[in-house]
Structure 1
Amino acid sequence: MSADRNISDEHLNAFVDGQLDADEKSRILSAINADDELSHRACEFRRLRELVAHAYDNPPPPPRRQRLGARVSGWRQGIAAALLLAVGGGAGWVAGHAQQQSPLDMRAMYLDEEKAFQTAALDQAPVRGERKIVLHISSDAPEKLETALETAEQLLATYSKLGQPLELELVANAGGLNLLRADVSPYAERVRELQRQYDNLTFLACQTAMDRLRREKQLSPGLLPEALITPNALDEILTRLQQGWMYISV
């Protein structure tokens, strides 16, 4: 039996609303990852646009570049996680093998004028003033960490060569924190060099993910000097999308 038949719309709604306990949330996430039809159903939950639009009416300023901050509500975080997962399940906006393609060919996600999620190659996506991109890394796989930096560097170099302004945020959470952790990062020198070379690049580490490390693994990791903190990575991404930024996941 297809996994999606075991998950009702009611459960998907509860997942989006952040109302499930950890076990149920994990079960639905696993089912979405394993079942294309369920992934499509999750994507269709973009029809909850009225609910999401409520968050767009008065979007808060991004609570970024702080060392401490309040955590986002479960409702908002649930929407962010569900929508990013849903769109990711049905669209090719994940950056992979960045060195094998032109940065301008990379597909990214954005919100159109009606606040619906869309994807397009960077050179085909609409631009409202300065190009702004949030690049997201959540995996500790060495090749993913390297791809994140390769992608960032290629984007920065390409737009600089074209003479087009770009603002780029590289946001790390979950395993992706390893890129910015002072104790384990294999790319500390490269992060330092990129930050020295590009003042339009910001490295952001997720406070929520760091708190989880402290709580679950009794680790208190320090960050590289170049890393700033955002209270929650998914909230940062959703806010940036609302503000007209492009989103690329590694």
Structure 2
Amino acid sequence: MTRLLTAAATAVSLLGLAAAPALANGKEHYIAIHVDQNDPHVMNMALNNAKNVEAYYKSKGDSVTVEVVAYGPGLNMLVAGKSPVADRVAQMSLAMDHLRFSACNNTLQAMQKKVGHPVKLLSEAQVVPSGVVRLTELQEEGYSYVRP
């Protein structure tokens, strides 16, 4: 009986030690990146942040979900025919499974009113009611906030 209990305790101990590294790997991370400037440097920095974060966590065996939220002058990042980073947005969307681009509807409506016609967004963009509200929601959901 003592041998059986010792063997069971050893097995539990070994299983605990074997499971510890598995628990350390596979962590999920959530990043919200804020773009509110019509500046190609800022837009590229935001995309670099997304790419670098994904590469880092992937090398650790973790996963990351990144959402780039654009509003105000930063919405130009997601406007078809105007975005200085349209090619990178398209390429990165194909390369990164958990990358989303959110476009502020408040800003979109203001742009359309100003130019007097519909403004077309990149196909990768999803329209959200408000960029600020979206960033707030993401932070409330546990996303880390990054502003390049």
**What amino acid is the match of 1:205?**
A
Partner of 2:125: 227
Q: Does 1:210 align with 2:108?
A: yes
Aligned residues: 122
Partner of 1:171: 69
Q: State, as a whole percentage, how many aligned pairs show the same letter.
A: 29
**What amino acid is the match of 2:54?**
L
**What amino acid is the match of 1:214?**
Q
CA distance in 1: counterparts of 2:30 and 2:117, whole angstroms: 33
**What amino acid is the match of 1:138?**
D
Partner of 2:84: 186
**What amino acid is the match of 2:100?**
T
**What amino acid is the match of 1:186?**
P
Query: Counting strand residues as a fraction of each chain, which structure ranks higher?
Result: 2
- CA displacement at 1:219 relative to structure 2: 4.8
TM value normalised by structure 1: 0.47
- Preserved CA contact (<8 Å) 1:136 1:170: yes
Partner of 1:243: 141
Label 1:219 to 1:147 Cα distance change in 2 as closer, same or farther (>3 A). Answer: farther
- Structure 1 vs Structure 2 CA RMSD: 1.3
- Tell me the alpha carbon deviations over residues 105-157 of structure 1, each in whole angstroms, 9 at most, x when there is no partner: xxxxxxxxxxxxxxxxxxxxxxxx62111001000012111111111111111
* Gap runs ≥5 in structure 1: 1-128
For residues 4-153 of structure 1, the aligned pairs below 5 Å read 130-153=28-51
CA distance in 2: counterparts of 1:247 and 1:191, whole angstroms: 20
- Preserved CA contact (<8 Å) 2:54 2:63: no
Which structure is richer in relative contact order (CA contacts within 8 A, separation 6 or more)?
A: 2
**What amino acid is the match of 1:220?**
P
CA distance in 1: counterparts of 2:78 and 2:117, whole angstroms: 15
For the pair shown, the structure with the greater C-alpha radius of gyration is 2
- CA displacement at 1:167 relative to structure 2: 0.9
**What amino acid is the match of 2:66?**
L
- Preserved CA contact (<8 Å) 2:35 2:68: yes
CA distance in 2: counterparts of 1:216 and 1:184, whole angstroms: 16
Match of 1:156 among 40, 48, 54: 54
TM value normalised by structure 2: 0.77
